[in-house]
Amino acid sequence: MASIINPPQGLTNDDVRQLDRQYVFHSWSAQGNLNPLVIAGGEACRLWDYEGNNYLDFSSQLVNANLGYQHPKVVAAIQAQAESLVTIAPATANLMRGQAAKRIIERAPAGFNKVFFTNAGADANENAIRMARLYTGRDKVLSAYRSYHGNTGVAVCATGDWRRQPNEYARGHVHFFTPYAYRSEFMASDPQQECERALFHLRRVIEGEGPNSIAAILLETIPGTAGILVPPPGYLQGVRALADEFGILMILDEVMTGMGRTGKWFAFENYDVKPDLITFAKGISAGYVPTGGVVISRPIAEYFNDRLFPGGLTYSGHPLAMAAIVATLDVMAQDKICENAASIGEQVLSPGLKALQQKHAIVGDVRGIGVFHAIELVSDRATRQPLSAAAMAGLKASLLNAGLLPFVAENRLHVVPPCIITADEARRGLEIIDLALSAVTPS
C-alpha cells in the first residue's frame, strides 16, 4: 500500500469535516446531525484518512469501485485522454467513444449492436424506458417493489422502495413482488415454489394491467440495494417467457451487478437469459469517471434508423469517461478480474459467510454470488424480526473502529468488496465481521 499522504498544511479530519458541513448538501439525509467519514486517499482495496486511520474496503463505495482505488493503468488512460482531448460534443465521432462502445458490444450477448452513453445509471434506466415506450408504442413499465433504479424523474418512479414515494410524478409505473425466499410474499416453502408463485403473481399483474398497455418489464438482474436477492433457478427465464408471450420488452438493470461483480461480465450470464435492453454504469469505469449507458439489441437499434430518438445528454460519451471504460475493460480482461471475483465468492466469501451464520444466532440469512453477498441480521431467528436500527448502528461503528469500511442497509450488511480483492484480504474482512458480530446485543 502507498504511504499515507501528508496532509496539506497539516489538515485534520475535523478540518475537512467542518468544510463539508458548512457547504455540502448530502443526498438521502436530514442535514442537521451528519458526521461524515473523512477519506483522504486510497490504493487497491485500502482507504485512509488524514490522521493515519486506514480501512479495508468491503463496500466498493456504492458498489462501483470494482478495481479498487488508483489503478495505475486506468489513471494513466484518463491522464492521457485529458492531454489529447478533454471534452467533445456527443454528436461528433470520437475514437475513444467508438472504442468503448466496441468493447462493450464484444462483451454483450449476440444480437446487441449499439450503445447509448449516459452520465450514470439512473439516466441509463431513464433512456431504456424511453426506448421501450417508443419501440412498442405502449406506456406502462412494470418493476419490482424491492428495487432501486436511480434518482432521475422516471428512474425513481420505477424504483420500488420508499424513495419513490415523495418523487412520484412520472406516469405509467406499476410494481410487483419478486422472489425473496427468506421473507416470502407468497408463503412458499422452497425456492421452486417461490419461483412458481412469483411468476404466477407477475402473470396476474400483467393480465390485470392489460398486456397491450405494457412496454417493458424492468428488473435488476439481482436486486442490490434491496438486499442482494439472488433469483431462484428459473425465475428470470420465466420472466423472459412472459415478456415474449405478451410482446413486452425485458430490460435488465446491470448498473450494480455488471462488470465482474458476480464473476461474469453481466450477471444475467449466470442465469441463461437474454434481455432486450441492458443498462450499465458503476463498474464499467470502476467509478473513476461518472458514466453509464444502454446496450441496445439490433431490432430496437434499427427501429431508430429512420425515426428520431428524442433523447440526449451534453456529456454522453465524454472522452474522459470513455478512456476510463476502455482501460477498465482491458485491465479486467488482462488480469482476469471476473475470474478473481468468482473465485473469491466460491472459495472465501460463500463458505465464510455460511460459517458466520452457523456461529452467530443473529445471522438469519446469507446469500450472494461472486463479490456480491449480504448478511441479513435478526434479533430472533424463529420470528425473523429484523435487528434494530440501534444495533445496526453499533455494528457499523464497531466495523469502522476495527478498520473495515462496510456497506450497511437496513438490517443487512452487504459484503461487496472490490473485484480485485485478494483471498487474504477477504478472509481478514470476514474475521473483522466475526468479531463485530460477537459484540452485538440483539434488540
Q: What is the pLDDT of residues 334-353, one digit of tens each?
A: 999 999 999 999 999 999 99
pLDDT band at 151 (very low <50, low <70, confident <90, very high): confident
Residues 6+ apart with CB under 8 A from 265: 107, 258, 259, 338
Distance in angstroms (rounded) separating the CA atoms of residues 227 and 305: 40
Q: Angle 293-298-301 (CA atoms, 0-180°, nearest 5)? A: 60
Residue 4: predicted pLDDT? 46
Residue 1: predicted pLDDT? 35
Q: Could you tell me the three cell numbers for 209?
A: 394491467
Q: What is the mean pLDDT of residues 208-225?
A: 98
Residue 69: predicted pLDDT? 98
Distance in angstroms (rounded) separating the CA atoms of residues 22 and 8: 20
Residue 8: predicted pLDDT? 59
Q: What is the mean pLDDT of residues 379-393?
A: 97
pLDDT averaged over every residue in the chain: 95
169-173, 261-265, 325-329: least confidently modelled range: 169-173
Say if residues 197 and 161 touch (Cβ distance below 8 Å): no
Any idea which residue has 437499434 for its cell? 301
Residue 443: predicted pLDDT? 67
pLDDT band at 174 (very low <50, low <70, confident <90, very high): very high
Residue 3: predicted pLDDT? 41
List, in sequence order, every beta strand (DSSP E) within 170-226: 173-176, 214-220
pLDDT band at 412 (very low <50, low <70, confident <90, very high): very high
102: buried, middle or exposed (CB in 10 Å: 19+, 13-18, 0-12)?
Answer: exposed
Q: HSE of 180 in the Cβ direction (CA atoms, 13 Å)?
A: 18
Higher pLDDT, 302 or 150: 302
Give me the torsion for CA of 90, 95, 98, 99, rounded to 10°.
-140
Q: What CATH architecture does domain 73-334 belong to? A: 3-Layer(aba) Sandwich (3.40)
CB atoms closer than 10 angstroms to residue 24: 10
Q: What is the mean pLDDT of residues 116-139?
A: 97
pLDDT band at 162 (very low <50, low <70, confident <90, very high): confident
8: buried, middle or exposed (CB in 10 Å: 19+, 13-18, 0-12)?
Answer: exposed
Residue 441: predicted pLDDT? 83
Q: What is the mean pLDDT of residues 95-101?
A: 98
Residue 157: predicted pLDDT? 82
Q: Where are the domains of the chain?
A: 8-70+336-438, 73-334
Is it the case that residue 169 has pLDDT exceeding 90?
A: no
Residue 291: predicted pLDDT? 98
Residue 9: predicted pLDDT? 62
Is it the case that residue 10 has pLDDT exceeding 90?
A: no
For residue range 105-115, list pLDDT tens digits in order: 999 999 999 99
Domain 8-70+336-438: give its CATH code: 3.90.1150.10
- pLDDT over 70 percentage in the chain: 98
Is it the case that residue 241 has pLDDT exceeding 50?
A: yes
